[in-house]
């Protein structure tokens, strides 16, 4: 029987990410808690350990390896679901201050328990991104906004625009399909962004990914 978390360390290393024993332990706890919770509440279709490691945990943190995110950045994850990509990012970068936002109560209830179990700190909000951006407390507050598997790029740019500071970045975590069509290019301009970079890579399972980074102007 493998020592708890050693399979996680190995898989992360295959993806080029070195994980401490402590952080592997937290990732392991996250998997065990997610699997147990999903027996009662449907939070994700990916429930096998290997799938969670590759398609949730590693997929969530790979964007950090392509970016030079300053310490103590204020970050918001729109439509975080069961905490992806935010919670694995928080485990790797304890200095980041995350807000976890989701429109579904069952997900924010889960996140409250998860964050507490892992001994992490985050603001957890049950609500919609388009409404949060209208509240003075959250308007132009964030250095980085992330979103994985939430909506189309133009809708997401509309959500992220009011929430980001000038000079902040919106990180769209997408599948392998090229989505930078004319409609998206118009959306970039309309919502006050500039396309900073687009990075193509594969996660260990071989699935293709695109990371599109937009700069708020
Ligand atoms: N980001 C997670 C992931 O990659 O596993 C969850 C993806 S899940 C397919 C989409 C999530 O976005 C759902 O939990 C849904 O409640 C949330 N969502 C969709 N539209 C939203 C909005 N306008 N504001 C906040 N959350 C939203």
pLDDT 10s digits, 135-154: 999 999 999 999 999 999 99
- 155/184 Cα distance (integer angstroms): 9
Who's near 94: CB < 8 A, 6+ residues apart? 120
- pLDDT tops 60 at residue 1: no
Average pLDDT estimate for 32-38:
98
β-strand 74-78 against 142-148: which pairing, if any? parallel
Which residue has a Cα nearest atom 18 of ligand 1?
79
How wide is the angle at C-alpha 24 spanned by C-alphas 61 and 47, nearest 5°? 70
pLDDT band of residue 205 (cuts 50, 70, 90) is confident
Q: Which residues line ligand 1 (CB under 6 A)?
A: 78-82, 84, 101-104, 107, 128-130, 148-151
Confidence at residue 4, expressed as pLDDT on a 0 to 100 scale: 74
Q: What is the distance in angstroms between the CA of the first residue and the CA of the last residue of the chain?
A: 52
Ligand 1 centroid from CA 103, angstroms: 7
The closest of 70, 50, 68, 69 to 59, measured between CA atoms, is 50
For residues 143 and 71, what is the distance between their CA atoms, to the nearest angstrom?
Answer: 11
CA 127 from chain centre, in angstroms, equals: 17
Q: Stretch 75-103: mean pLDDT, rounded? A: 98
Torsions phi, psi of 23, nearest 5? -70, -35
Please write the tens of the pLDDT for every residue from 45-78: 999 999 999 999 999 999 999 999 999 999 999 9
Asked whether the predicted pLDDT for residue 3 surpasses 80, the reply is: no
Q: Which of 125, 137, 136, 145 is nearest to 191 (CA)?
A: 145
- Whether 41 contacts 110, CB under 8 Å: yes
| 157: nearest Cα among 135, 176, 179 | 179
- Report whether 35 contacts 56 (CB < 8 A): no
| Residue to mutate (ligand 1; options 88, 89, 103; most atoms within 8 A of CB) | 103
Question: For residues 200 and 190, what is the distance between their CA atoms, to the nearest angstrom?
Answer: 25
Mean pLDDT over 107-136 rounds to: 98
CA of 79 to the centre of ligand 1 (A): 3
Distance (Å, whole) CA 89 – CA 27: 11
Q: What number is the average pLDDT over the span 97-124?
A: 98
Q: Note whether 134 and 111 are within 8 A (CB).
A: no
Per-residue model confidence (pLDDT) at position 119: 98
Taking the centre of ligand 1 as the mean of its atom positions, its distance from the CA of residue 186, in whole angstroms, is: 24
């Amino acid at each position: 029987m493998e020592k708890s978390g050693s399979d996680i360390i190995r898989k992360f290393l295959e993806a080029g990410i070195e994980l401490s024993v402590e952080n592997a332990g937290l990732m392991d706890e996250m998997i065990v808690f997610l699997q147990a919770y999903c027996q009662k509440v449907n939070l994700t279709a990916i429930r096998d350990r290997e799938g969670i490691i590759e398609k949730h945990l590693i997929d969530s943190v790979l964007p950090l390896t392509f970016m030079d995110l300053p310490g103590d950045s204020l970050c918001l994850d729109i439509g975080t679901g069961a905490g992806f990509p935010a919670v694995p990012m928080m485990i790797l970068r304890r200095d980041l201050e995350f807000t976890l936002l989701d429109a579904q109560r069952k997900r924010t209830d889960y996140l409250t328990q998860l964050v507490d179990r892992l001994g992490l700190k985050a603001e957890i909000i049950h609500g919609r991104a388009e409404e949060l951006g209208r509240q003075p407390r959250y308007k132009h507050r964030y250095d980085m906004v992330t979103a994985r598997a939430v909506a189309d790029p133009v809708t997401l740019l509309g959500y992220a625009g009011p929430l980001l500071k000038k000079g902040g970045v919106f990180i769209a975590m997408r599948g392998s399909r090229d989505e930078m069509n004319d409609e998206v290019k118009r959306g970039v301009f309309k919502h006050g962004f500039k396309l900073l970079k687009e990075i193509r890579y594969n996660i260990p399972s071989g699935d293709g990914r695109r990371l599109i980074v937009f700069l708020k102007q």
